[in-house]
A and B are shown apart, each in its own frame.
Chain A
């Protein structure tokens, strides 16, 4: 049996930032468990730049961004184990893990930080008809093959879904000499960042077919052609609008799903909308002493926000271990309404609120000239203007509880309000 104050599950950007911040806040025995052969998580295959603009005020590649944290973690002497798979986490914070050298590991932790990230939605989950040949793969898998293994996955490529990884791969494969024929997006707007639409599609003249979906895949062994069609407002393909592309590859960038099998094993309550654990202002889950951060909680648009959120989790895990974090009976629920799909955290405890608290959220459609309005019951606490909001970009709202008596707050809601005259 091994004993640690804090065990961090997952050594990607979330786990790294959380572990470092926990150490900075006084936690001593910290262990990071990583299932891959190196730390850094998915950042290691994100060799494009655009990371770190908020956290470091400079533009880094994924591996560069990861390396800063990996170096800091090592410099601080934080322990980690690579190629180590966590099999189970109990609500008593007992962890079962396994690796080649040490076999089965039983670890007792005072606090656990879940930072397992997310996985890609697959073809089955969106039910695309047609054959099942090689050449249909998720954009992230293709990214790994191209950037980590050094192999191309096809020569003529169609992409379904305009999530960020799909957009990034459209550019990457083009630069590697493949012909990217287009990106088909079911919704009337892209699910990715606007800057990726511009830099990865428009700059390379790759067409984006909004409100289109794949209706057929041909090819017995390898993809030979893919047909897309326009969809109506109920997402049903419209007959006669089919476009057939002869291609050898269909990449899927149709969404990310927080990977919460371990959270379920620990009996942690999950949010129906985010598919991640419901967390409070300390990034603590429904199981006391188990914290969560990063894409395992909700899928982020930028790694910078993952880092910020994870620092919060790491700091609070350290406070929990030292007994500073108060677990009070009074809890205030936080809800997204009227165009706000969800808000993280989903719950706040007034006693723990000091000064500024940040809320992260996503909206359900594209809106222009709106206000994000936070309310306690009917009382407006804060209202901020947004010229443009979209589901692909996360929104945040900071409430300063130093200015108000947190105990007076009823249920907190955050909503979108159309600006008058707009």
Chain B
């Protein structure tokens, strides 16, 4: 019998599981995919928002500002790339200037620090590649960029280090009420648990309805992106938002923590929660935005396009509440933007909800004596000093062999991310953790070699090494 079962190992679920792992509890973290962070967490804008955007008084407003403040400490503890580079909301006409005034006022109400309305000269001084027709912008110093899947992976790893049990390939198919809690059927197994926390992202409504009356519905909404080569990564220095309008929240142009340029997203309601395709129309629309905003941009530098699915709900606010009349079922749903930013604050809030329910469920939240908040730092070989590089190769020659030519990733780094807790088992899993294949050749050269390493480390046949999700086989059979 587990005390708590968290369904969904995206950014929300991993934050909650890791926060709960500070206590003497038995915790199970389930995910339907073969890796953590394999849904919305792997395909979003990767922005830590300042917090002027959310409507006053909403959970989004509350947790955005609080979550933002928590980012420095968490990313330091977990050795996750995070840069507080600030954001701009651009205004190209008088109407947009009014809008950014409103955003500024809302930011004040929401408690966002260090905002400023910039005039044309100030904006251009900060972002020299914006069109001269810019009128002004709202600058928010506290906005930042993060590696979203790196963060969720780090949280999962740290949670497992602190005793959480992670079960992948475990799609929840049924949740049945028992005398002491629930029986959760997932994958081929069943798990008894006192409390369920539903952090299932776009599937949160289906999970909820396995035991509860329908109170909300997830309205999947797709966002498409273009990712550019590092050679144009310095096109902007801050997160540059287009001005929100009735037409939408505005497209964003930003550098990523790894130095690429990211452009997107679109916002299209879709029916199928797995429909992560990109479209000609969608990619064209974000490209057009970039052309309208920047002096010059070349689309030959696009290295990949992708899309992610937002878990929107009709109320447009986060749903973080116990299921009606239940102490032992907590929904954490509708976590669309600014969900990534809010997640650490949401996790703390959920732990308080658990604490309230604890006595009724015969649980006590005792802090662990030996909770380890830190994760063993991952090695980024090329960032080391030459002296340290030499020492490392002497200790482990695998760091002397470059596998990914574009990003200069060594065999040592790849082996490390496979061997860690909640480690990589697929090509894309290795790519999300150590970055081989995320450069300009997109794995053309290194994919076969990374597959060999995975096969060797996990002792499986090359043929059984997947690209990403179940069924994403790369090789079919031996040649004749």
Given contacts A104-B386, A134-B474, A155-B476, contact A123 B469 (CB under 8 A): no
A contacts with B: majority SS: mixed
Residues of chain B lying within 8 A (CB to CB) of residue A104:
386, 389-390, 393
Return A253 CB to nearest CB of chain B, in Å. 12
Q: Which chain A positions have C-beta within 8 A of B470?
A: 221
Option from A85, A133, A217 in Cβ contact (under 8 Å) with B402? A85
Set of chain A residues within 8 Å of B386, measured between Cβ atoms:
104
A residues near B443, Cβ cutoff 8 Å: 141
Stretch at the interface among A54-62, A124-132, A290-298: A124-132
Could you tell me the distance between the alpha carbons of A246 and B140 in the complex, rounded to whole angstroms?
49
Contact present for A98 and B299 (CB under 8 Å)? no
User: Does any Cβ of A come within 8 Å of B302's Cβ?
Assistant: yes
Among A298-327, those with CB < 8 Å from B are none
Residues of A within 8 A of B468 (CB): 134, 221
In whole angstroms, how far apart are the Cα atoms of A43 and B279 in the complex?
Answer: 37
Given contacts A134-B472, A140-B444, contact A103 B393 (CB under 8 A): yes
Contact A100:B276 (CB < 8 A) given known A122-B444, A125-B303, A138-B444: no
Please state if A124 and B402 are interface contacts (CB–CB under 8 Å).
no
Interface string of B259-301 (1 = CB under 8 A from A): 0000000000000001011111011000000000000000110
A127 to B402, CA, bound (A): 28
Partner of A152, one of B400, B444, B479: B479
Known A124-B302, A125-B300; contact A101-B400, beta-carbon cutoff 8 A: yes
Tell me, yes or no, whether B408 is within 8 Å of chain A by CB. Answer: yes
Known contacts A98-B400, A124-B227, A134-B472: A119-B279 contact under CB 8 Å? no
Chain A residues with CB under 8 Å of B477's CB are 151-152
Q: B280 contacts which chain A residues (CB < 8 A)? A: 129, 215, 237
Residues of A within 8 A of B248 (CB): none
A270 to chain B, nearest CB (A): 12
The listed residue (B277, B389, B398, B479) touching A100 by CB distance below 8 A is B398
Residues of B within 8 A of A177 (CB): 480
> Does A144 contact B303, Cβ atoms closer than 8 Å?
no
- Taking the nearest CB of chain B, how far is it from the CB of A86, in angstroms? 9
Complex-state Cα separation, A380 to B276, whole angstroms: 58
CB neighbours of A87 from chain B (8 A): 402, 408
Nearest Cβ in chain B — how far from A171, in angstroms?
Answer: 14
A134 lies within 8 A of B441 (CB): no
Contact between A149 and B448, CB atoms less than 8 A apart:
yes
What is the minimal beta-carbon distance from B154 to any residue of chain A, in angstroms?
24
Does B466 belong to the interface (CB within 8 Å)?
A: yes
Residue of A nearest to B386 (CB): A104
Across the interface, do B478 and A151 meet the contact criterion of CB distance under 8 Å? Answer: yes
Report A347-383 CB contacts with B as 1/0, cut-off 8 Å: 0000000000000000000000000000000000000
With a CB–CB cut-off of 8 A, which chain B residues contact A132? 276, 278, 304, 306
Q: Report yes or no: A134 in contact with B442, Cβ–Cβ below 8 A.
A: no
Taking a contact as CB atoms under 8 Å apart, the answer to whether A129 and B277 are in contact is: yes
Which residues, 365 to 412 on B, are CB-close (under 8 Å) to A?
386, 389-390, 393-394, 397-398, 400-402, 405-406, 408
| A-B CB contacts (within 8 Å), total count | 146
Is A204 in the interface zone, CB < 8 Å from B?
Answer: no
Q: In the complex the two chains form, is B471's CB within 8 Å of A100's CB? A: no
Interface size class, chain B? 35 or more
Nearest CB on B from A244, distance (A): 15
Q: Which of B441, B444, B480 lies in contact with A176, CB distance below 8 A?
A: B480
Cβ of B191 within 8 Å of any chain A Cβ, yes or no, is: no
CB contacts under 8 Å to B, within A117-172, are 119-120, 122-125, 127, 129-135, 137-138, 140-141, 144-146, 148-155
CA–CA, A134 and B406, complex, Å: 21
Q: What is the CB-to-nearest-CB distance from A149 to chain B, in angstroms, rounded to a whole number?
A: 6
C-alpha spacing A138/B397, complex, angstroms: 31
Given contacts A129-B280, A134-B468, A151-B462, contact A146 B402 (CB under 8 A): no
Decide yes or no whether A410 CB sits under 8 A from chain B: no
- Chain B nearest CB: distance from A290 CB in Å? 20
Looking at the assembled complex, report how far the CB atom of A286 sits from the nearest CB atom of chain B, in whole angstroms: 19
Q: Indicate if A222 sits at the interface (CB-CB under 8 A).
A: yes
For residue A388, CB closer than 8 A to chain B, the reply is no
User: B228's closest neighbor in chain A, by CB?
Assistant: A124
Whether a CB of chain B sits under 8 angstroms from the CB of A418 is no
Which of B305, B408, B445 contacts A119, CB < 8 Å? B445
Q: Which residues on the B side are within 8 Å of A5 (C-beta)?
A: none
Nearest CB to that of B452 among chain A residues? A149
Interface size on A, residues (CB 8 A): 52
Report the Cα distance A155→B401, complex, angstroms: 34
Q: A104-B390, A220-B469 are in contact. Are A127 and B299 (CB under 8 A)?
A: yes
Q: Are A125 and B302 in contact (CB under 8 A)?
A: yes
Tell me, yes or no, whether B83 is within 8 Å of chain A by CB.
Answer: no
Query: Which chain A residues (226-263) contact chain B, with CB distance < 8 Å?
Result: 237, 248, 261
Q: A98-B393, A127-B283 are in contact. Are A221 and B479 (CB under 8 A)?
A: no
A99 at the B interface (CB under 8 A): yes
Take A104-B393, A122-B444, A127-B299 as given contacts and tell me if A151 and B475 are in contact as well, using a CB distance cutoff of 8 Å: yes
Verify if B249 is at the interface (C-beta below 8 Å from A).
Answer: no
* Contact partners of A93 in chain B: CB under 8 A: none
Is there contact, CB below 8 Å, between A103 and B400? yes
- State whether B442 touches A122 (Cβ < 8 A): yes
Known contacts A98-B402, A123-B304: A151-B479 contact under CB 8 Å: yes
A77-116: contact bitstring with B at CB < 8 Å (1 yes, 0 no)?
0000001010100000000001111111000000000000
Q: Specify which chain A residues have a CB less than 8 angstroms from the CB of B219 in the assembled complex.
A: none
Task: Check A131/B277 contact, CB under 8 A, given A122-B444, A149-B462.
Answer: yes
How far apart sit A222 and B476, CA to CA, in the bound complex (Å)?
A: 11
Taking a contact as CB atoms under 8 Å apart, the answer to whether A100 and B401 are in contact is: yes
Q: Does B405 contact A35, Cβ atoms closer than 8 Å?
A: yes
CB–CB A151/B476 < 8 A: yes
User: Is the beta-carbon distance between A221 and B471 smaller than 8 angstroms?
Assistant: yes
Which residue of the partner chain A has the closest CB to B396?
A: A100
Tell whether, in the assembled complex, residue B469 and residue A144 are in contact, meaning their CB atoms are under 8 Å apart: no
Looking at the assembled complex, report how far the CB atom of B465 sits from the nearest CB atom of chain A, in whole angstroms.
10
Would A130 and B393 count as touching, CB distance under 8 A? Answer: no
Question: Are B472 and A146 neighbours in the complex by a CB distance under 8 Å?
Answer: no
| Residue contact B276 to A129, C-beta cutoff 8 Å | no
Min distance, Cβ A335 to any Cβ of chain B, angstroms: 23
Q: Are B400 and A99 in contact (CB under 8 A)?
A: yes
When the two chains form the complex, which single residue of B227, B405, B448, B476 contacts A141, counting CB atoms closer than 8 Å?
B448
Let me know if B258 is at the binding interface, CB within 8 A: no
Contacts from A to B (Cβ < 8 Å): 35, 83, 85, 87, 98-104, 119-120, 122-125, 127, 129-135, 137-138, 140-141, 144-146, 148-155, 176-177, 215-218, 220-222, 237, 248, 261
Additional 8 contacts, C-beta under 8 A, given A120-B441, A120-B444, A146-B479: A85-B401, A103-B394, A122-B304, A129-B305, A145-B448, A220-B274, A221-B472, A222-B471
List 12 A-B residue pairs with CB atoms under 8 Å apart, sorted by A's residue number: A98-B393, A119-B444, A122-B441, A123-B304, A130-B278, A131-B276, A134-B474, A140-B444, A141-B443, A146-B479, A155-B476, A220-B274
Task: Write the residues of chain B forming the contact surface with A, with a CB cutoff of 8 angstroms.
Answer: 226-227, 274, 276-280, 282-283, 299-300, 302-306, 386, 389-390, 393-394, 397-398, 400-402, 405-406, 408, 440-445, 447-448, 452, 462-463, 466-480
Which 4 pairs across A and B sit closest by C-beta, in order of nearness? A221-B471, A134-B467, A124-B304, A85-B402
